[in-house]
Chains A and B, each alone.
Chain A
Amino acid sequence: AQTVTQSQPEMSVQEAETVTLSCTYDTSENNYYLFWYKQPPSRQMILVIRQEAYKQQNATENRFSVNFQKAAKSFSLKISDSQLGDTAMYFCAFMKHIVNYYGGSQGNLIFGKGTKLSVKP
Chain B
Amino acid sequence: DAGVIQSPRHEVTEMGQEVTLRCKPISGHDYLFWYRQTMMRGLELLIYFNNNVPIDDSGMPEDRFSAKMPNASFSTLKIQPSEPRDSAVYFCASSPSAGSGYEQYFGPGTRLTVT
Please give the residue numbers on chain A whose beta carbons come within 8 Å of chain B beta carbons, in ascending order. 33, 35, 42-47, 50, 52, 91, 95, 100, 102, 104-114
Contact between chains at B42 and A102 (CB < 8 Å): no
Known: A50-B103, A109-B45, A113-B42. A104 touches B108 (CB 8 A): no
Cross-chain contact of A45 among B31, B91, B95 (Cβ < 8 A): B91
Contact between chains at B97 and A105 (CB < 8 Å): yes
Cross-chain contact of B31 among A52, A104, A110, A113 (Cβ < 8 A): A104
CB A57 to nearest CB in B, in angstroms, measures: 14
CA distance A50 to B100 in the complex (A): 11
Residues of B contacting A114 in the complex (Cβ-Cβ under 8 angstroms): 42
Known: A91-B43, A108-B48. A100 touches B55 (CB 8 A): yes
Residues of A contacting B42 in the complex (Cβ-Cβ under 8 angstroms): 111-114
Contact between chains at A104 and B33 (CB < 8 Å): no
Q: With an 8 A cutoff between CB atoms, is B109 at the interface?
A: yes
* 18 A–B contacts, CB within 8 A, in A order: A42-B108, A44-B106, A47-B103, A47-B104, A50-B102, A52-B101, A91-B43, A104-B97, A106-B95, A106-B97, A106-B102, A107-B56, A108-B56, A108-B59, A109-B35, A110-B45, A112-B42, A114-B42
Residues of A contacting B102 in the complex (Cβ-Cβ under 8 angstroms): 33, 50, 95, 106
CA distance A35 to B109 in the complex (A): 20
Number of A-B pairs, beta carbon distance below 8 Å:
58
How many residues on the B side are at the interface (Cβ–Cβ under 8 A)?
Answer: 27
10 tightest CB-CB pairs across the interface, nearest first? A45-B106, A111-B43, A108-B45, A104-B50, A113-B42, A47-B103, A100-B55, A43-B109, A33-B102, A108-B48
Residues of B contacting A113 in the complex (Cβ-Cβ under 8 angstroms): 42
CA distance A107 to B55 in the complex (A): 9
CB B99 to nearest CB in A, in angstroms, measures: 12
Instruction: Give the contacts of B22-40 with A (CB-CB under 8 A).
Output: 30-31, 33, 35
Instruction: Give the contacts of B45-61 with A (CB-CB under 8 A).
Output: 45, 48, 50-51, 53, 55-56, 59
CA distance A63 to B42 in the complex (A): 27
Residues of B contacting A50 in the complex (Cβ-Cβ under 8 angstroms): 101-103
CB A41 to nearest CB in B, in angstroms, measures: 13
